[in-house]
Structure 1
């Protein structure tokens, strides 16, 4: 809010109570809307609502959930292991490991056949898969911290 990622930062800078921060923010939004074209604030059509709803129903993918913003195309052509917008489902880690093993097999074949373009693409996929495995470690760490982190009683 007001250029900060965290409301507490905003509160610290303006040294005000939450009600005043909200009032300042609402004033900012009202002023911002005053300079924006009014057609941006019209009621959406039934088709627009359906498109919006459908976008979110299509977010579930084999490895987890796609967190790309509404109205944006998939720039990775649904190659989710390469996409930073994929939020992995920890239950799908075995699937990720299968994809990794298959990619290694395909890389061996590409080397053998001297398909250099394929070699480069598969190496890139493996680099991203390694990043997803690191994401798994972070997610597991967060889950463990949530279960036994500071302030827990167990």
Structure 2
């Protein structure tokens, strides 16, 4: 990012980055820089293999639990796969049907939860539109993620 905002040579960026890392390490506990065990490496790899979900990819940080109990449509960490837009629309249709039933049965707690899900689905649909526009303009990198 520094290169994008400041006219510097790549060597200068690398030198400043290394200087920052060296300085940061002096302030951090040394046990953070030990070799991980085989079990820790396996856990780390498993985390990333488990990030693929039906609607796309879960971008939650390593070592953090899923706070939405796998209700991915409500999660801001979900990065949609454009190919899964039909699945998102199916989820929306099903949620609207369930909302209608909950309203008829006066299951007010269910009504509130389903309305919340529909708000999140609307957000995900907007994300799909942004991704589609970005894909059409050939944008890539961090700014194209949503």
Give the structure-1-normalised TM-score: 0.85
Where does the alignment leave 5 or more consecutive residues of structure 2 unmatched? Answer: 140-146
1:21 aligns with 2:13: yes
1:37 deviation in Å? 1.0
CA distance in structure 1 between the aligned counterparts of 2:80 and 2:124, rounded to whole angstroms: 8
Aligned to 1:77: 69
Could you list the structure 1 runs, at least 4 aligned residues long, displaced by more than 6 angstroms after superposition: none
Contact conserved, 2:3 with 2:10, CA < 8 A, in 1?
Answer: no
1:93 aligns with 2:88: no
Give runs of aligned pairs for residues 37-116 of structure 1, distance below 5 A: 37-116=29-108
Q: For residues 39-92 of structure 1, give each alpha carbon's deviation from its aligned partner in whole angstroms, at most 9, with x where no partner exists.
A: 100000011001000000101111111111111111111100001111111111
CA distance in structure 2 between the aligned counterparts of 1:128 and 1:88, rounded to whole angstroms: 13
1:16 deviation in Å? 4.0
Larger radius of gyration: 1
Aligned to 1:129: 121
Aligned to 2:3: 8
> SS of 2:60's equivalent?
coil
Higher relative contact order structure (alpha carbons within 8 Å, sequence separation ≥ 6)? 2
CA distance in structure 2 between the aligned counterparts of 1:36 and 1:27, rounded to whole angstroms: 15
Where does the alignment leave 5 or more consecutive residues of structure 1 unmatched? Answer: 1-5, 148-154
Q: How many residues align?
A: 139
